[in-house]
A and B are shown apart, each in its own frame.
Chain A
Amino acid sequence: MAEFEVEIKPENLVYGTPKLITDRIMHYCPGCSHGTIHKLVAEVIEEMGLAEKTIGVSPVGCSVFAYNYIDIDWVQAAHGRAAAVATAVKRLYPEKMVFTYQGDGDLAAIGTGESIHACNRGENIVVIYINNAIYGMTGGQMAPTTLLGMKTATTPYGRDPKLHGYPYKIADMMAHLDGVCYITRQSVHTPVNVRKAKKALRKAFENAMAGKGLSLVEFVATCNSGWKQSPVASNRWMEENMLPFYPLGDIKDI
């Protein structure tokens, strides 16, 4: 087959690592959704020409070190406070593109108040919300988003609503707030979903730059270490168990 040997040259390049992704090896577990989502963030910033204009706010959670992996300006916020910090940054620098990157423990547990009020005020920021239904960083404890029956370090017999309450869809709740212009739920568990998610993320960034209000992009994601499954099995489990409760698609778009 030597006659059909593809030549490695720039004209033949179809896909390469986004330029804003640094050389540093990510600390994430093999197969973790955070890495794939980081690439999308880097690609959107790069393609919109916003590398010098964007300020990210990283959370507490596994993605606390996001600032090591995407070569833009960052602020690292206290646990749950990313949307409050992003509010301050955006108001001080209204011409900048400001976004937060937060897990479900960060956004939907300890930071519920800050997140909801940033939405309600209609801050011109993007909130990227990574919902893996667990506290990944601290060893896989139950989060408010944990599915009923799901086993975690703190629900070893499965989440029981009588004891632990119900999982909740904070993105759907936020859709009722007038300050929010766009809410969508995406995933990165297949190449098709990755490509769709990128379009949604780009739209959110465009909204923020156009001053339309707050956009929230939820990613239903895996935490294979916390779920105690292989990365490939986690993607399958997510599709079968998470997506029926957290269905993909736009929730609000005005």
Chain B
Amino acid sequence: MAKIKGTIIVDKERCKGCAVCVASCPFQVLHLSSQVNGRGYPFAEMEHPDQCTGCASCAVICPDSCITVYRQKFE
């Protein structure tokens, strides 16, 4: 059965930890890190990467252009 999977890459140093992406992910994939980046912000990361579909909701809403989204179909 075909399966569509997604993944994201977060530019950690650009991220300001606003959590708007976390709240916008329809599959609760994201959370904020317990560590902070060079500017003192916690950054977005995938807590449940298996659930990412690559829908890009997190990326389109991110005000700081931190998220790149990839998606692949597995036959």
Contact = CB atoms under 8 A, between A and B. Distances in A.
B55 to A, nearest CB: 8
A17 B68 contact: yes
Q: Which residue, of B22, B50, B69, has the highest number of chain A Cβ atoms within 10 A?
A: B69
A191 B54 contact: no
Interface in B23-69: 23-24, 41, 50, 54, 56-65, 67-69
A3 B74 contact: yes
Given A4-B3, A31-B18, A15 B72 contact: no
Contacts of A194: 60-61
Interface string B1-35: 00101110100001011111011100000000000
A26 B23 contact: no
Interface in A209-252: 230-232, 235
B65 A21 contact: yes
Main secondary structure of the interface of B (DSSP, over half): mixed
A36 B61 contact: yes
Nearest to B23: A232
A12 B4 CA distance: 11
Q: Which residue, of A1, A6, A195, has the highest number of chain B Cβ atoms within 10 A?
A: A6
B18 A4 contact: no
Interface in A32-54: 32-36, 39
A195 B63 CA distance: 14
A232 B31 CA distance: 13
30 contacts: A4-B5, A6-B70, A8-B70, A9-B70, A12-B70, A14-B70, A15-B60, A17-B65, A18-B65, A21-B65, A25-B14, A26-B64, A29-B16, A30-B18, A31-B16, A31-B63, A32-B63, A34-B63, A36-B62, A39-B60, A190-B24, A191-B24, A191-B56, A191-B57, A191-B58, A231-B18, A232-B22, A232-B23, A235-B20, A235-B23
Interface of B: 3, 5-7, 9, 14, 16-20, 22-24, 41, 50, 54, 56-65, 67-72, 74
Given A8-B70, A34-B63, A232-B22, 6 more contacts: A14-B59, A25-B14, A30-B16, A36-B63, A194-B60, A232-B23
